[in-house]
């Protein structure tokens, strides 16, 4: 993007020293920093004190003190490198002592991640305030946050869902003659167990789990919940229909793979990739199981929703206050997109319709494979393709809108839009 050159302390940005990041990140490693060091620092570098940090027009300024001398180190975070200069001794060909010691002081465990300072194109020259982010000073530093309107702002290098072939999972047909399960004083129902996928290490994907309950005198409502059902022995003595027997087996298969796998060796890329591949395979298997379960769920008298806060809470006896009555629908949600020109940026918005009617999705409790209208949180619809739920999950975290500054659209985002357009309607407005 063409902008007027930034000049700091009389030095243009082109005269800043360049340090490469680790591939695909904004991480500067100690090994890279030391490889660019042109002077001897010994085993114990000179003690340097960071007096203050400030962030103005996209530039991080670190006020440092070394013995009795003070300096300002200027840091700009680019797409694949760190640009650094100093009020004393650094230029494009030489990394000075103050700059080196400042970067080393910022490192923990042999690296420093500069992602929090990476806001390309967000600061117009001469303007103290950014259109896209807020910089709020606080004791000891500052915080940088996206403005609410731009919660989906895309930066070059940010992850986007992979657009491959959209493979539809065949939707099981609803039986022509629906036979509702018969109730007894003690009977069985089904719980849609859901949680936030990002918060805890006991997380799980949305799955179904049976429960045993005691009904009221006229068998109209639940009087009390007895237990979750984990295996066939948990329903001994309860009369089950053939459909419930089949649904139970689907539920047991779901629970086996619902827990999200985490890897203790997160620093090893090959282990992370292996765990990610396993999780993706489990997601797709769960979607297929949900498709098998859906027509059977339609025949059940009692289905509930429970926000679990993690798999470790799906145990023992369901808590009455946490169990909410829900229904499931056979209609297929249809995804579409709107690409708008907003002057300085483009905005791509996801829309979902059921039978031509727009759903206003609830961003607080996304169901991954399932969606509901925030006005009808008791009615859930099942998505029909892996790509559908990956796009819905991605957009649900950014209020269903992604903004891209125009200077970065062609190189970093246009290919994604073109990929989406191969499988979904994209209106331009």
Cα–Cα dist 156/162, whole Å: 15
Q: Which whole number is the average pLDDT over 301-318?
A: 91
Q: Taking residues 62-75, report their average pLDDT.
A: 89
Distance (Å, rounded) from C-alpha 313 to C-alpha 320? Answer: 14
Percent of residues, the chain, with pLDDT higher than 90:
57
Q: In terms of pTM, does the model score above 0.75?
A: yes
Q: Report the chain's mean pLDDT, rounded to a whole number.
A: 88
Say what the pLDDT of residue 236 is.
Answer: 87
Residue 186's alpha-carbon distances to 119, 157, 215, 317, in angstroms, are 59, 55, 6, 14
Averaged pLDDT for residues 40-59: 78
Answer yes or no: is pLDDT of 312 > 80. yes
Taking the CA atoms of residue 18, residue 23, residue 24 and residue 29 in that order, the dihedral angle to the nearest 10 degrees is -70
- What lies within 8 Å, CB to CB, of 276 at 6+ separation is none
Say yes or no to pLDDT of 2 above 90. no
Model pLDDT for residues 119-177, shown as the tens digit of each residue: 999 987 656 688 999 988 887 778 899 999 999 999 999 999 999 999 999 887 776 65
What is the per-residue pLDDT for 274? Answer: 86
pLDDT at 335 over 60: yes
Distance separating alpha carbons of residues 12 and 137, to the nearest angstrom: 26
Give the strand pairing for 345-354 and 222-228: unpaired
Residue 333 — very low, low, confident or very high, per pLDDT cuts 50/70/90?
Answer: very high
Got the DSSP string for 232-245? Answer: GGGGTTS---HHHH
- Residue 287's alpha-carbon distances to 52, 168, 339, 388, in angstroms, are 51, 10, 29, 11
Q: How far apart are CA 131 and CA 148, in angstroms?
A: 11
Encode pLDDT of 377-426 as tens digits: 899 999 999 999 999 999 998 999 999 999 999 999 999 999 999 999 99
pLDDT tens-digit map of 269-290: 677 788 889 989 999 999 999 9
Q: What pLDDT does residue 1 have? A: 43
CA dihedral of 325, 234, 201, 385, whole degrees rounded to 10? -60
Q: Is 337 left (phi over 0), alpha (psi -120 to 50) or beta?
A: beta
Q: 95: exposed, middle or buried (C-beta count within 10 Å: 0-12, 13-18, 19+)?
A: buried
Residue 180 has pLDDT above 70, yes or no: no
256: Cβ–Cβ under 8 A, 6 or more apart, which residues? none
Q: Please report, for the chain, how many H helices and E strands are present, in that order.
A: 7, 25
Mean pLDDT over residues 77-95, rounded?
91
């Amino acid at each position: 993007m063409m902008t007027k050159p930034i000049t700091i302390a009389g030095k243009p940005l082109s005269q800043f020293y360049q340090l490469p990041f680790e591939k695909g990140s904004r991480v500067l490693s100690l090994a890279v920093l030391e490889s660019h060091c042109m002077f001897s620092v010994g085993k114990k570098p000179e003690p340097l004190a960071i007096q203050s940090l400030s962030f103005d027009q996209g530039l991080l300024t670190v006020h440092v003190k070394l013995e009795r001398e003070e300096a300002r180190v200027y840091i700009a975070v680019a797409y694949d490198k760190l640009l650094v200069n100093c009020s004393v001794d650094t230029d494009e060909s030489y990394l000075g002592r103050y700059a080196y010691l400042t970067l080393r002081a910022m490192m923990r465990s042999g690296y420093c991640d500069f992602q929090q300072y990476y806001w390309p194109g967000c600061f117009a020259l001469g303007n103290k305030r950014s259109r896209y982010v807020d910089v709020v000073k606080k004791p000891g530093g500052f915080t940088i946050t996206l403005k609410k309107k731009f919660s989906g702002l895309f930066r070059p290098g940010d992850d986007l869902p992979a657009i491959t072939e959209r493979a539809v999972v065949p939707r099981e047909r609803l039986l022509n003659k629906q036979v509702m399960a018969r109730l007894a004083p003690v009977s069985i129902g089904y719980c849609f167990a859901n949680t936030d996928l990002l918060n805890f290490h006991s997380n799980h994907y949305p799955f179904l789990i049976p429960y045993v309950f005691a009904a009221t005198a006229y068998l109209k409502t639940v009087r009390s919940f007895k237990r979750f059902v984990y295996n066939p022995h948990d329903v001994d003595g309860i009369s089950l229909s053939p459909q419930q027997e089949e649904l139970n087996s689907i539920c047991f298969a779901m629970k086996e793979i619902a827990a999200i796998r985490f890897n203790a060796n997160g620093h090893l890329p090959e282990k992370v990739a292996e765990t990610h591949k396993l999780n993706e395979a489990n997601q797709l298997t769960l979607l297929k199981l949900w498709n098998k379960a859906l027509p059977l769920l339609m025949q059940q008298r009692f289905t509930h929703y429970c926000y679990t806060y993690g798999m470790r809470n799906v145990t023992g006896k369901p808590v009455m206050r946490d169990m909410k009555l829900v229904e499931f629908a056979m209609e297929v949600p249809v995804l579409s997109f709107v690409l708008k020109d907003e002057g300085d940026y483009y905005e791509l918005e996801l829309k979902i319709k059921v039978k031509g009617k727009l759903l206003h999705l609830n961003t607080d409790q996304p169901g991954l494979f399932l969606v509901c209208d925030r006005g009808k949180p008791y009615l859930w619809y099942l998505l029909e393709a892996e790509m559908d739920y990956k796009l819905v999950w991605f957009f649900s975290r950014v209020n269903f809108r992604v903004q891209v500054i125009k200077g970065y659209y062609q190189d970093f985002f246009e290919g994604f839009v073109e990929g989406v357009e191969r499988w979904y309607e994209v209106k331009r407005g």
